[in-house]
Chain A
Amino acid sequence: MRTRNILPSGMILAIVIAAAFKFADAQTAPRQPDAKHGADIVAHGTAAGAPPCETCHSVNGNPDGSGTFPRLFALPAYYLAKQLTDYKAGTRTSDIMQPIAQMLSADDIADLAAFYAGANAPLPSLAAPDPALVAAGQQLAMVGNAAKAVPACNNCHGPGGTGLPPAIPALAGQFAPYAVSELQLWQRGIRKNDGGAQMSDLVQRLDERDIAAVAAYYQQVKSALPASAAPAK
Chain B
Amino acid sequence: MTIAPSVLPETSDSAHSGDALAQAVTRPAAIHSQPITYIFFNLDEVEFIEAAVARLIPADDRWPGALEVGVTNYIDKQMGGAWGAGERLYRSGPWQAGTPSQGYQLPLTPAELFRTAIAAINKELAAKGTPFAAMTPANQDAYLKELETTDRDLGGVPAREFFAHLWEATVEGFFGDPVYGGNRDMIAWRMIGFPGAYASYYDVVDKHGIVIDRPPMSLAQDAMGHVHLDPNIPPKLP
Contacts and interface: CB of A to CB of B under 8 A. Distances in A.
Contacts of B199: 155-156, 158, 164, 168
B223 A158 contact: yes
A205 B204 CA distance: 27
Nearest to A225: B224
A155 B96 CA distance: 47
B214 A7 contact: yes
Contact of B202 (A6, A160, A198): A198
Contact of A14 (B193, B211, B224): B211
B228 interface: yes
B200 interface: yes
A181 B175 CA distance: 43
B100 interface: no
B198 interface: yes
A16 B204 CA distance: 11
B222 A223 contact: yes
Given A196-B202, A198-B202, A15 B226 contact: no
Interface string B178-208: 0000000000001001000011101110011
Interface in B75-107: none
A137 interface: no
B215 A167 contact: no
B211 A15 contact: yes
Contact of B224 (A1, A5, A10, A196): A10
Interface string A155-196: 110111011111110000000000000000000000000011
A26 B222 contact: no
Interface in A45-101: 78
Given A17-B210, A167-B202, 17 more contacts: A4-B193, A6-B214, A6-B215, A9-B224, A13-B214, A20-B209, A26-B209, A78-B203, A159-B228, A160-B226, A160-B228, A164-B200, A164-B223, A165-B223, A168-B199, A195-B202, A198-B202
B18 interface: no
Contacts of A15: 204, 207, 210-211
**Looking at chain B's contact residues, is the secondary structure mostly helix, strand, loop, or mixed?**
loop
B238 interface: no
A90 B198 CA distance: 30
B224 A224 contact: yes
A214 B130 CA distance: 64
Interface residues of B, number: 26
Contact of A223 (B203, B208, B226): B226
A15 to B, nearest CB: 5
Contacts of A10: 224
A200 interface: no
Contacts of B222: 158-160, 162, 223-224
B231 interface: yes
B221 interface: yes
B194 to A, nearest CB: 11
Contacts of A156: 199-200
B35 interface: no
A132 interface: no
A15 B204 CA distance: 10
A138 interface: yes
Interface string A11-31: 001111110100100100000
Contacts of B224: 9-10, 162-163, 224
Given A159-B222, A160-B228, A162-B222, A5 B210 contact: no
B225 A166 contact: no
A145 B50 CA distance: 47
Contacts of B215: 6-7
A171 to B, nearest CB: 12
Nearest to A161: B222
A200 B211 CA distance: 29
Contacts of B190: 4, 6
Contact of B204 (A5, A167, A223): A167
